[in-house]
Structures are given as C-alpha cells and as structure tokens.
C-alpha cells in the first residue's frame, strides 16, 4: 500500500509542480474576468484575483467574486485540455489527454476553502448565501459527477442568472464589496509569499498521503471497493469523506 501511495504522490507532486509554472491559469482568469464584465453593473459587483488572509495567518487566492442581491458567487477558474473527470469528494481529479493521465486537486474543495475564508471575514454582516461555481475552458470535456456547478466559462452568466431570490440589501452589498477591497493583499511580496505557501502545503498533503494518513483529518487511508472501482478512503468516514483514487 505504501509503495502505491508513494508512486501516486510522486506523480501528483510532479504534475502540480509543472502546473504552478504555467501561465494558463492567469490567461483563464483574464478571460473569465472579461465574461463577468458583461453582467449588468446595476445588479452585480465583480472582484477578480482576490488575495485574503485566513484565520490561521496564511492566505488564499480567489479567482472571482461576484456580489449581488442574490448572494455571493465564488468562481474557481480552470484552463485544461483533454477529458476532466472526478467526483464531489475525491481529493484529486484526473485529466486524460490521448491516454496520458494527470492529477489535479479537486477544485470544488479548493473553492470550499475560499468560501470558508469569506464567511469568516463577513460573519458579522448577516446570513449571506454563497454559491460555488467551478468553470473550465471549452478546450476540455467534462465528466464530473457533482452537485456543485462544474461548467464551462461561457455558461457562468447562465448559472448566475438562475438565482433570483433577493437576500441582500444594497447597503449590505456595498459593505461586503468595500470590506473585500480593503482586505485584499495586493502587494507583490505578499503574492510571492502566497505562492511559496501553496507549494509548501501541497508538500505537506503529499507527505501525509505517502504515510498512509488522511491529509484532512489524520485518519488512516483504507483500501475500499465501490461501484466504480477501488480507491483509498479515510477510516473516519462518514465524518471525513476524503477519497484518493
């Protein structure tokens, strides 16, 4: 089991190390920012590339935040090619390009972390609805099984337009927007530190998995059998739903 996990983690870490040097992420964020510019400005306020401090003293980078009467839309942007498939609770998803498979961190989980930071920062404003959206470029094909919207970039306005139940006042919207702008850590040095910390956290997660431990709660990873094949799951299921396929 440990040998298998070491091989898996090595491949994952190699993939992540390569991806962190790619400019595609920035290109994708700029294209989605352009799409979001088309939203009616009287209804929606858009903040792109937001870097916030977490309660633990670290930082988290959020691609796009859209503030409206209907709630806050938190959008994670991805720019990949090939087939992308995975599940809601899987730690990693798979990218398949002509039979060559690569791993990527589950972006639903990434966005859940972003929303937790936003909730903590805005906890005194009231009951704010947060809507998570994960959006990929049309250069890939999606085969994801999830209740969270996992869509293509051009579908973002369609998803946003589905939410028409007014939950926030104009005063709350202004307060939220101003607080996020004031909280944005926009200096070059802070953003370089953030990138370094992201890589360090990835190493910690990979080390935990290589030791047969769940990177979320520290439980033991156990080989399980499901309708779609074998996988490693946390021994603390259902309290922890970590999955490593």
CA atoms within 13 A on the CB side of 129: 14
CA distance 101 to 51: 31
- Domains annotated for the chain, with CATH where assigned, are 23-197 (3.40.1350)
How many other β-carbons are positioned within 10 Å of the β-carbon of residue 65? 23
Question: Which token pair is 195?
Answer: 């990138």
pTM: predicted TM-score of the whole model, two decimal places: 0.73
Distance set, CA 180 to CA 7, 45, 55, 105, 208 (Å): 41, 11, 15, 26, 33
Give the CB-side neighbour count of residue 72, counting CA atoms within 13 A: 26
Residue that is written with structure tokens 């869509």 in the block? 151
Q: Residue written as tokens 């439980």?
A: 219
- In this predicted structure, the answer to whether residue 215 has a pLDDT above a threshold of 70 is yes
How far apart are alpha carbons 108 and 89 in whole angstroms? 9
Task: Classify 148 in phi/psi space as left (phi over 0), alpha (psi -120 to 50) or beta.
Answer: beta
- Report, as an integer, the average pLDDT of 73-100: 94
Tell how many helices (H) and how many strands (E) occur in the chain. Answer: 6, 12
Average pLDDT, the chain: 85
Residue 155, classed as helix, strand or coil, is helix
CA–CA separation, 65 vs 44, rounded Å?
10
Question: pLDDT by residue (tens digit) across 93-102?
Answer: 999 999 999 9
**Ranked by mean pLDDT, which of 98-102, 153-157, 239-243 comes out on top?**
153-157
Residue 192 has pLDDT above 70, yes or no: no
Instruction: Work out the average pLDDT over 76-88.
Output: 95
With bands split at pLDDT 50, 70 and 90, how would you rate the model's confidence at 157? very high
Peptide linkage before 238 cis (omega within 30 of 0): yes
Q: Helix H segments across the chain? A: 2-19, 24-36, 107-121, 156-161, 170-183, 188-210
pLDDT computed for residue 188 by the predictor: 63
> Rounded to an integer, what distance in angstroms lies between the CA atom of residue 15 and that of residue 127?
39
């Amino acid at each position: 089991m440990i040998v298998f996990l070491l091989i898996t983690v090595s491949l994952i870490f190699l993939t992540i190390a390569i991806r962190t040097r790619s400019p595609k992420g920035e290109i994708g964020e700029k294209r989605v920012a352009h799409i979001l510019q088309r939203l009616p400005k009287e209804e929606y306020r858009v903040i792109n590339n937001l870097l916030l401090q977490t309660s633990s003293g670290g930082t988290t980078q959020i691609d796009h935040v859209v503030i409206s009467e209907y709630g806050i839309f938190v959008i994670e942007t991805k720019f990949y090619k090939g087939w992308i498939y995975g599940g809601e609770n899987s730690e990693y998803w798979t990218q398949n390009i002509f039979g060559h498979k690569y791993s990527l961190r589950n972006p639903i989980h990434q966005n859940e972390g972003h929303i937790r930071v936003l909730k903590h920062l805005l906890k005194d404003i009231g009951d704010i609805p947060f809507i998570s959206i994960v959006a990929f470029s049309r250069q890939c094909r999606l085969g994801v099984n999830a209740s969270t919207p996992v869509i293509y970039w051009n579908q973002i306005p369609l998803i946003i337009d589905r939410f028409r139940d007014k939950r926030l006042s104009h005063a709350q919207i202004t307060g939220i927007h101003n607080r996020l702008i004031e909280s944005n850590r926009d200096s070059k040095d802070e953003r370089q530190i953030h990138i370094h910390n992201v890589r360090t956290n990835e190493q910690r997660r990979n080390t935990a998995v290589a030791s047969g431990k769940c990177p979320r709660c520290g439980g033991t990873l156990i080989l399980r059998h499901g309708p779609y094949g074998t996988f490693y799951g946390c021994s603390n299921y259902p309290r922890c739903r970590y999955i490593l396929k």
